């Protein structure tokens, strides 16, 4: 049976010291504990979904998009979540200010042949 | 004017198109590109300008130049109806030209954009001028557009977010048709259309007589 | 460790080239060999190139170059380190000679990107970003540069006008450089602040505009490096490599403590200064990696030429022009000379050598240069 698509984006938490990483490295940047996604030799890191409120650190509107994005422009930004994790993603509003609060959700960020790719999209707070 | 009876039957009935008021665009180099509408009298120099590019394979210059040549020649010799040509000149020398025609009151048809001067986005300004003519001066509601080169496709289709309308046949032979509608034009205008009016008489005088380029970046070592 | 000098330089005009990738590399290698006065005797070849596998579908380019030039059995390696591949190849050349493994090294950097359109080229370079956390979003190098610029402007009061002035300067320099891709001066009045400027110089990644970004170019450059002990065997006086430094930063830009700090640039320059036994004050001129005009500003501060936030004053005073106190990008920089990614780092050293030999074209020769410094970086300041 096909696996259900996991639409979440995760930070990964070291099982030994609790340090959060995004994206997941193969060893903890804090205590050097190793990560094993197959869980055969070591444990995998705990997955912590990245969502909820975050702060916009900086942003841009890009007109020259890479091949495959037939859009006039897209907005991108760097955000910081309340747990200190930072991430880049697409911003789904044109009304932007440095430092503004945003809500992180996940959605289709890219379509490749026969498949949707999910990632972080930031929306203005209601 | 006396016109031969047979010739009369061959010639299309022509409307008098509202004129395109000349404008001037300051290019990144600081050079002033004057954009004015060509008259039939300008025909020979336009043809002379386009002709050398018929042999340039790169970027589909050959296809575009051959077609522009035939379109302008057809217009010059009364075989195309309601065609216009806008020309961008720097110190009188032709940098880029665009042409098209009107299909009816509300619909225009874009033919081609051909640019000799490279690196200053002259072609993009001239394409924008052509759309400006259709919407602001011919007061049309939409313009049918096709692209024959990948650069043209990306530039026009994406920058203007054209609407695909493959069921409509453009005169340029079955290439999928796209449409710039008035709302799409208005949305694109602030970012893509520029130029200042009126053009000072001195500057406008430089474009009185078009001059065919003596150099073509597309043709190294060109000699006329 | 043995001292290393540069005794030969070769370059081809950047832009749209009709030759194949290895052929343009070979052209510049032959120019460098001619400059050094040699036809053979190369122990080791380092080739820098980023996109051979992706763009040209060609691997093993270093051996192909050796064979093209009939330099067998020279040792040969390809160096791929993103847009910093060129300086990495120079560094490896240095290491090979300093260690005693080789006496004469050919370093050639080359790239053919014009077979791609702008959108494809942007995508190609973006493949060096993190695949899931960055690339999949449609993020690109221009996007990161735009985000960086917004923060920098907010913090230090830099304006779009400052950036336009850098572009004008680099275009002016390139106009005098026969190897530059865009040899077309632009004027400040035309690209900034006049009624047509928003359309002539449109935003590409706000607040960066089209004249803040390097073009897509084909190109190549070569150097002949040698053990300083045998430098008198060559035609030209050697230019000594006084110091080299390299450093890396986090792959994902969001993981940097201060997104405005180019830690790798700072670290690499500190190492290079230390090795050379000099400081920023001794630098007469610099070639900086201005894939985006903002990077020239930020790098010039990270390497200590100006205090943080103060490069804008130097721009206003014209200090970074060829005639100024500390000329930057006398070649035209990546902005106007062009940025064939794998060639850039080698091309920058080509310019340093040309200037230090006083062989630059009239109008862009730096006055009495003693030390030149080049910064070549990959990604958004990941490798230097």
For residue A8, the chain C residues in CB contact (below 8 A) are none
- Supply C40's token pair: 């053979």
Task: Give the distance from CA C251 to its chain's centroid.
Answer: 20
For residue B119, the chain C residues in CB contact (below 8 A) are 182, 184
Contact check, Cβ <8 Å, C204/A66: no
- Average pLDDT over all residues of chain B: 93
- Average pLDDT over all residues of chain C: 96
Query: Could you tell me what percent of chain A has a pLDDT over 90?
Result: 84
- Supply C303's token pair: 């390497």
For residue B157, the chain A residues in CB contact (below 8 A) are 70
Residue C11, burial from CB neighbour count under 10 angstroms (0-12, 13-18, 19+): buried
- Kindly report, residue by residue over C300-313, the tens digit of the pLDDT: 999 999 999 999 99
Contact check, Cβ <8 Å, C137/A67: no
Q: Classify C353 as helix, strand or coil.
A: helix
Whole-number pLDDT of residue B216: 96
Q: Does A104 contact C at CB distance below 8 Å?
A: no
For residue C381, is pLDDT > 70?
no
How far apart (Å, rounded) are the C-alpha atoms in residues B211 and B95? Answer: 10
For residue B181, is pLDDT > 80?
yes
- Kindly report, residue by residue over A67-100, the tens digit of the pLDDT: 888 788 999 999 999 999 999 999 999 999 999 9
For residue C314, is pLDDT > 70?
yes
For residue C330, is pLDDT > 80?
yes
Q: Does A70 contact B at CB distance below 8 Å?
A: yes
How far apart (Å, rounded) are the C-alpha atoms in residues C371 and C273? Answer: 11
Quote the minimal CA–CA distance from C191 to chain B in Å.
5
Closest CA to C373 of C275, C249, C242, C251: C242
How far apart (Å, rounded) are the C-alpha atoms in residues C291 and C308? Answer: 20
* Beta-bridge mates of residue B35: B23, B88
Domain B19-206 belongs in CATH node 1.10.600.10: no
**DSSP characters over C56-80:** I----HHHHHHHHTT-TT-EEEEE-
C-beta separation of C178 from C223 below 8 A: no
Angle between helices C21-36 and C61-68 (to 10 degrees): 60
* Beta-bridge mates of residue B33: B25, B90
A50-124: CATH number:
2.40.50
Q: Does A67 contact B at CB distance below 8 Å?
A: no
- Supply B113's token pair: 């954009």
Q: Does A126 contact B at CB distance below 8 Å?
A: no
Whether ipTM tops 0.90, in short, is yes
Average pLDDT over residues B168-189: 90
Q: What is the DSSP letter of C52?
A: I
Contact check, Cβ <8 Å, C184/B27: no
What residue has token string 């440095």? Answer: A98
Q: Centre a 10 Å sphere on the Cβ of residue C77 and count the other Cβ atoms it contains.
A: 15
Quote the minimal CA–CA distance from A108 to chain C in Å.
9
CA distances from B164 to B102, B132, B181, C274 (A): 19, 20, 11, 61
For residue A62, the chain B residues in CB contact (below 8 A) are none
- Supply B73's token pair: 């020649």
How far apart (Å, rounded) are the C-alpha atoms in residues C374 and C112? Answer: 22
Q: Does A54 contact C at CB distance below 8 Å?
A: no
**Confidence band (pLDDT; 50, 70, 90) for C383?**
very low
Nearest-Cα residue of chain C relative to residue B120: C200
Average pLDDT over residues C345-360: 98
For residue A86, the chain C residues in CB contact (below 8 A) are 254-255
Q: What is the DSSP letter of B174?
A: T
- Kindly report, residue by residue over C19-52, the tens digit of the pLDDT: 999 999 999 999 999 999 999 999 999 999 999 9
Nearest-Cα residue of chain B relative to residue A66: B154
- Kindly report, residue by residue over C93-110, the tens digit of the pLDDT: 999 999 999 999 999 999
Nearest-Cα residue of chain C relative to residue A84: C255
Residues in B 149-168 with any Cβ partner in A closer than 8 A: 157-159, 161
Contact check, Cβ <8 Å, B194/C202: no
For residue C382, is pLDDT > 60?
no
Query: Where is C253: in which H helix or E strand?
Result: none
Question: Which range among B146-150, B200-204, C123-127 shows the weakest confidence by mean pLDDT?
Answer: B146-150
Domain annotation for chain C: domains and CATH numbers = 4-115+218-240 (3.40.47.10), 128-211+243-374 (3.40.47.10)
How far apart (Å, rounded) are the C-alpha atoms in residues C121 and A64? Answer: 11
What's the whole-model pTM score? 0.93
- Counting as contact any 3 or more CB pairs under 8 A, the partners of C are A, B
Domain ranges in chain A are 8-49, 50-124
- For chain C, the residues whose C-beta falls within 8 A of a C-beta of chain A are 117-120, 122-123, 126, 130, 132-134, 136-140, 142-143, 146-151, 154, 202-208, 252-255, 259
Domain ranges in chain B are 19-206
Q: Classify C22 as helix, strand or coil.
A: helix
- Kindly report, residue by residue over B67-78, the tens digit of the pLDDT: 999 999 999 999
How far apart (Å, rounded) are the C-alpha atoms in residues A85 and A57? Answer: 12
Residues in A 79-98 with any Cβ partner in C closer than 8 A: 86-90, 98
Contact check, Cβ <8 Å, B121/C200: yes
Q: Does A68 contact B at CB distance below 8 Å?
A: no
Q: Centre a 10 Å sphere on the Cβ of residue B164 and count the other Cβ atoms it contains.
A: 11
Q: Classify B5 as helix, strand or coil.
A: helix
Strands C208-209 and A10-13: unpaired
Q: Which of C118, C255, C259 lies closest to A64 in CB terms?
A: C118
Quote the minimal CA–CA distance from B223 to chain A in Å.
37
Angle between helices B182-192 and B122-132 (to 10 degrees): 140
- Kindly report, residue by residue over C152-208, the tens digit of the pLDDT: 999 999 999 999 999 999 999 999 999 999 999 999 999 999 999 999 999 999 999
CA distances from B220 to B53, B55, C113, C139 (A): 12, 12, 21, 38
Q: Which of C118, C184, C202 lies closest to B29 in CB terms?
A: C184
Residues 6+ apart with CB under 8 A from C67: none
For residue C259, the chain A residues in CB contact (below 8 A) are 57-58, 78
What residue has token string 């098209």? Answer: B100
Contact check, Cβ <8 Å, A117/C204: no
Chosen for mutation from A66, A72, A74, A94 (greatest number of chain B CBs closer than 10 Å) is A72
């Amino acid at each position: 049976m096909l696996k259900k698509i996991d639409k979440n984006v995760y930070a990964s938490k070291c099982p030994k010291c609790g340090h959060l990483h995004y994206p997941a490295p193969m060893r903890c940047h804090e205590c050097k504990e190793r990560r094993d996604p197959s869980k055969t030799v070591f444990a995998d890191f705990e997955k912590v979904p990245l969502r909820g409120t975050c702060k916009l650190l900086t942003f841009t509107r890009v007109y020259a998009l890479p091949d495959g994005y037939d859009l006039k422009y897209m907005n991108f930004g760097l955000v910081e979540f309340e747990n200190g994790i930072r991430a880049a993603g697409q911003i789904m509003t044109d009304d932007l200010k440095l430092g503004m609060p945003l809500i992180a959700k996940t959605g289709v960020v890219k379509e490749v042949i026969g498949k949707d790719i999910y990632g972080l999209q930031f929306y203005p707070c209601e | 004017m006396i016109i031969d009876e047979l010739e009369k039957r061959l010639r299309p009935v022509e409307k008098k198109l509202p004129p395109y008021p000349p404008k001037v665009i300051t290019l990144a180099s600081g050079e002033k590109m004057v954009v004015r509408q060509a008259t039939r009298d300008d025909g020979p120099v336009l043809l002379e300008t386009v002709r050398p590019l018929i042999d340039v394979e790169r970027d589909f210059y050959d296809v575009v130049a051959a077609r522009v040549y035939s379109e302008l020649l057809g217009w010059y010799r009364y075989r195309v109806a309601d065609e216009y040509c806008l020309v961008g000149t720097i110190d009188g020398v032709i940098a880029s030209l665009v042409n098209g025609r009107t299909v009816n009151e509300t619909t225009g048809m874009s033919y081609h954009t051909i640019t000799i001067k490279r690196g200053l986005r002259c072609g993009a300004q001239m394409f924008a001028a052509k759309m400006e003519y259709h919407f602001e001066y011919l007061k049309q509601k939409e313009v049918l557009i096709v692209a024959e080169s990948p650069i043209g496709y990306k530039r026009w289709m994406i920058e203007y977010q054209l609407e695909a309308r493959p069921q409509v046949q453009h005169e340029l032979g079955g290439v999928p048709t796209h449409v710039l509608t008035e709302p799409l034009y208005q949305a694109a205008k602030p970012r893509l259309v520029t130029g200042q009016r009126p053009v000072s008489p001195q500057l406008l005088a430089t474009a009185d007589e078009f001059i065919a380029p003596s150099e073509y970046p597309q043709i190294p070592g060109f000699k006329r | 460790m043995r001292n290393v000098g540069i005794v030969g330089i070769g370059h081809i005009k950047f832009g749209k080239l009709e030759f194949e990738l290895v052929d343009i590399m070979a052209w510049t290698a032959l120019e460098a060999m001619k400059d050094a006065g040699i036809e053979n005797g190369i122990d080791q070849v380092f080739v820098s190139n980023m996109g051979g596998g992706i763009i040209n579908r060609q691997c093993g380019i270093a051996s192909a170059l050796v064979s093209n030039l009939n330099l067998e059995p020279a040792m040969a390696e390809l160096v791929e380190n993103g847009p910093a591949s060129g300086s990495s190849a120079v560094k490896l050349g240095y290491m090979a000679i300093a260690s005693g493994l080789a006496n004469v090294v050919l370093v050639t950097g080359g790239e053919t990107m014009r077979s791609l359109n702008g959108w494809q080229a942007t995508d190609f370079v973006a493949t060096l970003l993190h695949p899931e956390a960055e690339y999949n979003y449609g993020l690109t190098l221009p996007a990161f540069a735009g985000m960086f610029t917004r923060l920098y402007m907010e913090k230090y009061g830099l304006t779009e006008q400052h950036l336009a002035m850098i572009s004008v300067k680099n275009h002016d320099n390139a106009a005098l450089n026969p190897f530059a891709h865009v040899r077309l001066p632009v004027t400040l009045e035309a690209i900034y602040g006049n009624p047509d400027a928003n359309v002539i110089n449109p935003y590409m990644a706000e607040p960066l505009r089209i004249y803040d970004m390097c073009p897509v170019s084909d190109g190549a450059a070569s150097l002949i490096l040698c053990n300083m002990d045998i430098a008198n065997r060559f035609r030209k006086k050697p230019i000594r490599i006084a110091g080299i430094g390299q450093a890396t930063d986090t792959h994902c830009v969001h993981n940097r403590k201060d997104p405005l700090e180019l830690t790798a640039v700072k670290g690499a320059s500190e190492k290079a200064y230390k090795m050379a036994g000099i400081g920023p004050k001794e630098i007469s001129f610099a070639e900086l990696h201005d894939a985006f005009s903002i990077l020239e500003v930020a790098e010039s501060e990270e390497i200590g030429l100006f205090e943080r936030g103060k490069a804008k004053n130097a721009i206003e005073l014209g200090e970074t022009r060829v005639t100024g106190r500390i000329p930057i990008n006398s070649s035209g920089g990546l902005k106007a000379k062009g940025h064939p990614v794998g060639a850039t780092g080698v091309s920058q050293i080509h310019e340093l050598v040309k200037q230090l030999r006083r062989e630059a074209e009239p109008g862009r020769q730096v006055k009495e240069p003693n030390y030149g410094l080049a910064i070549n970086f990959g990604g958004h300041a990941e490798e230097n």
